[in-house]
Structure 1
Amino acid sequence: MSSGVRVLDKTSLLLSVLENESASLAGLVAKTGLPRPTAHRLATALERLNLLTRDSTGRFALGPRLADMSVGARQNGLVPAATPVLGQLRDLTGVTARLHKRRGVQRVCMFSADSRSDRIDAVPTGTAFPMRGGAVSQVLLAWEDPDELYEGLRDSRFTAETLAGVRRRGWAESVGDEGSGIASIAAPVRGRDHQVVAAVALSGPVSLLTRSPGRRYAARVIDAAILVGDRL
C-alpha cells in the first residue's frame, strides 16, 4: 500500500519491520531494502521523536510515544463503547452505572448512566475525585506497577493487602467511602494489551446495593467491563 509520499512509505515500511521484534541497523536494511544511509537517517529521526527507541544492545524498537498514542486512541473510544453497555447495566440493576478513567492522582467520571429513581449521588461527567478511597480507585490502582502502587497507597484509605484482594477477585467494593450511605462496586476495563484503561462501576444507596454489593452484582459488573473492553 502506497501513500503517494515516498518518505512516508519508507517510514511506514521501517515501522512495520519493528512491529514484532527489535532490529539492528543492518537488520533494518536487510528487511526493508532501504539504503543504509536512508534507514539510518529515518531511524535516528524517529528515535529523536520517541517513536523509536534502542534496547540495551543498541537494536531499534518501537518507542514509548507509539504506545502512548495507541492507548490514547483506545481511550478516546471509551465513551462510545461504554454508553450502551452502561445503559443496559443501569436498567438491569436499577442503580447508576458509571465509567471512570485514571488521570494521575485523580479519577475522572467519563460517563454516567444515571438511575431514574435515585439521584442521591449524582456526578456530572468530567468530575474528578482524588484516588484516596472507593471501589473505583482500588480497581484503577490495583494492577499498576510497584512504583505506582507505592505512590498511590501513600495517601489512600485502603492498603496493599486490599489491592491484592482486588486482583485476586477481579473486582472491588466499598461502603461509605464515596459518601454517607453510598455503596459501590467496580471492575476493570482492559485494552487489547490487557492493561487496565478504565473502570466500570455501580453506585447507589446501601439500601439498594446492600453492604455487600459484590455478592449480588459482581458478575454483572465484570461482564459489563469485559463487554466495554471488547467494544474498544
Structure 2
Amino acid sequence: MKITAPSLVPSSVGVLNKISEILAVLEKGPACLPEVVSETGLKRLTVHRLVLAMQELDLVQADEQGQFIVGPRLARLAMVAQHAIADRELRRELSVLRATTGASVRLHQRYGDQRICVAEALRFKSAAGERKSVRAVAIATDPVSRVFLAWRRFSRDHVTRDDAVACSRIRHRGWVQGADEGGLVLAVAVCGRDGELAAVLSLSSPSQRTRRGGSYGCQVIKGAVETAARIAARLSAQRGTSPAKELEDRVRRVGPGSVE
C-alpha cells in the first residue's frame, strides 16, 4: 500500500506549515536536503534547522546514505491511529450484532491461562457508558473457554479421548453454545488465514429470551459466524501491509547516519 499525502491545508501557525511541507516530501520516500529544499520552496537554512529539531523529537531520521526518512515516532503514531480506527470499526460490528440479536456481545482474547474481554456491546449500558473491558477470567469450562481450549494443541490438558474428540468437533464446527452464570452463551471462533485462533466472539442473554429457551436460532448463529468472519478479516488486514507497517519498514532500514 502506497502512502498518499493528503491535500495540505495551511494552518494559522507558520512553523507547523513548514514542518508539514517537509513531512509531505518524506512521505514519498527518502530525500536529501537539496531535494527537500527544492520541493518545499523553503530556504536551505530553514529546512536544515527544522530537520535537526525534528530529529531530536524522533520525527525524522537519516539513513545510511544520509537521506532523510520518517522517524520512529511517526511510525508509532501511525500504529496508534490505525489501531484506533480498527477499534472503532470493531465496536461497530459488535453493536450491529447486538442490535440484530438482542444479546450482549463481547470479543475475548487469550493471554496465557486467562482470557480478557477486549471489546463489548452490552444489552444495557452501564452508568459510565460502554467502554473497553480488561477483566481477566481464568479459562474454565464455559462455552468461551471451550473454544479457546479446542484450539490449544493437544497436550497433557487433553488426557482423555472424549476430551480430544470434543475439541475436534468444536474446531470443525467453529462455534459452541451452552449455559453460563448469566444465561445462554454462544461462542464463535475468530480465526486468521492460517487457521490459528485470534479471538472468540460471544453472545450472551438470559435463557428465557432465546429461541426455545435453551438455544440460539439458526439465524442468530449465522449472523454471529458472519460477524466473526468479518472481524477475522479486519485482524488479518491489520497485520498485513498498512501505512503503519510501511513506516515501520522505513524506520527499520535506518542506519547510523546523521545530519552534518
| TM-score between both structures, scaled by the size of structure 1 | 0.52
Map residues 25-104 of structure 1 onto 2, 5 A cutoff.
25-77=33-85, 80-90=88-98, 92=100, 96-99=104-107
2:68, 2:191 → 1: CA distance? 33
CA displacement 1:154-199 (0-9 Å, x = unmatched):
xxx946xxxxxxxxxxxxx6879xx99977435489xxxxxxxx96
Native 8 Å contact 2:190 2:232 kept in 1:
yes
2:101, 2:234 → 1: CA distance? 17
Instruction: Identify unmatched segments of 5+ residues in structure 1.
Output: 117-123, 140-156, 160-172, 190-197
Corresponding residue for residue 257 of structure 2: none
Cα RMSD after superposing both structures:
5.1
Structure 1 pair 187/53, CA: closer, same or farther in 2 (3 Å)?
A: farther
Map residues 31-180 of structure 1 onto 2, 5 A cutoff.
31-77=39-85, 80-90=88-98, 92=100, 96-99=104-107, 109-114=117-122, 125-129=132-136, 158=152
Structure 1 pair 20/203, CA: closer, same or farther in 2 (3 Å)?
A: farther
Larger Rg: 2
Cα offset, 1:217, TM superposition: 5.0
Native 8 Å contact 2:144 2:200 kept in 1:
no
CA displacement 1:68-96 (0-9 Å, x = unmatched):
22332343455544444213224556764
Count of aligned residue pairs for this structure pair: 178
Secondary structure of residue in 2 paired with 1:109: strand
Native 8 Å contact 2:60 2:69 kept in 1:
yes
Instruction: Identify unmatched segments of 5+ residues in structure 2.
Output: 1-8, 125-130, 154-173, 193-197, 206-213, 239-260
Native 8 Å contact 1:24 1:60 kept in 2:
yes
> Per chain length, whose mean CA-contact separation is higher, i.e. which structure has more relative contact order (CA < 8 Å, sep 6+)?
2
CA displacement 1:41-100 (0-9 Å, x = unmatched):
111211111111222322111122112223323434555444442132245567643246
2:186, 2:21 → 1: CA distance? 52
Cα offset, 1:23, TM superposition: 0.7
Structure 1 pair 79/107, CA: closer, same or farther in 2 (3 Å)?
A: farther
Cα offset, 1:200, TM superposition: 7.2
Secondary structure of residue in 1 paired with 2:120: strand
Question: In percent, how many aligned pairs have the same letter?
Answer: 30
1:2, 1:67 → 2: CA distance? 23
Corresponding residue for residue 201 of structure 1: 201
Secondary structure of residue in 2 paired with 1:61: strand
Structure 1 pair 22/80, CA: closer, same or farther in 2 (3 Å)?
A: same
Structure 1 pair 187/38, CA: closer, same or farther in 2 (3 Å)?
A: farther
1:100, 1:60 → 2: CA distance? 42
| TM-score between both structures, scaled by the size of structure 2 | 0.48
